[in-house]
Amino acid sequence: MWAFFDNLLNAILPPRCIKCGAVIADDSGLCADCFNEINFISAPYCQKCGHPFETTPSAGKMLCGRCMKNLKTPFRFSRSAVHYDEASKNLILAFKFMDKTDNAATLARWLNLAGRDIWAAGVDLMLPVPLHYTRLLKRRYNQCALLAAELHKLNGVPTDYTSLVKHRRTRPQVEFSGHERIKNLKGAFSVKHPEKIKGKRVVLIDDVMTTGSTLKECALALKRAGARSVDTLTVARVV
């Protein structure tokens, strides 16, 4: 019965490539041409921060130079699905600013695959990176919350949309570089319900990891609230 309705729906509204709009045979999200343009991050990569390696490192050295130096980071694991480049940029900007909210289902499938090390290590809660309420009113949706909701349908990990809040409005991060980015966000996030976070292994869901300062500020707030570990899972990252 459902197959009949599925076929009927596909005949009326055939699935389309979320990038170029071409009609596609299945609901994989992208046509073959657009899929080939996307630069997926695959092994080998640093086991901790997920930074992709050009070549396979020698046995036992699955950490990048930075992680080997044991630099202080609030993250247990970081993973991203794709490189942030021209091909993925348009897809993400359309999803974020131009109401292409249908893209969430495809992007969540990528997140689910990219996060396999995180699911294997065990995680209790997924938390989308929050927007300040004034930004949310303007944009009408939080793209990270949409990603988390779609991801929850795939992996069943509980999602918390309300505990982590951005209580201070900040200038867009693109206006700053380096240390200024960290300063811009300092103390902008807080945890409203610390009892829901205490002792939990949480994963932050975001669209793009640029320098990681947003995710770091969120992680520090979560650690202050007693989170046992914080991972990050983003659709794309600047490599």
Contact residues: Zn ion, CB under 5 A:
17, 19-20, 22, 31, 34, 46, 48-49, 51, 64, 67
Contact status, residue 126 vs residue 158, Cβ threshold 8 Å? yes
Nearest to 21 by CA among 7, 39, 34: 34
For Zn ion, the closer of residues 8 and 25 by Cβ is 25
In which residue are the tokens 């989170």 written? 227
Phi, psi angle pair for 236, to nearest 5°: -130, 160
Asked if omega into 172 is within 30° of 0 (cis), the reply is no
In angstroms, give the least distance from the CB of 206 to Zn ion: 18
Q: Least distance (Å) from Zn ion to the CB of residue 233?
A: 15
Secondary structure (3-state) at 129: coil
CB of residue 48 to Zn ion, shortest distance in Å: 5
Nearest to residue 76, comparing CAs of 195, 224, 219?
219
Task: Kindly state the tokens that stand for 42.
Answer: 């695959």
Q: How far is the CB of 69 from Zn ion (least distance, A)?
A: 10
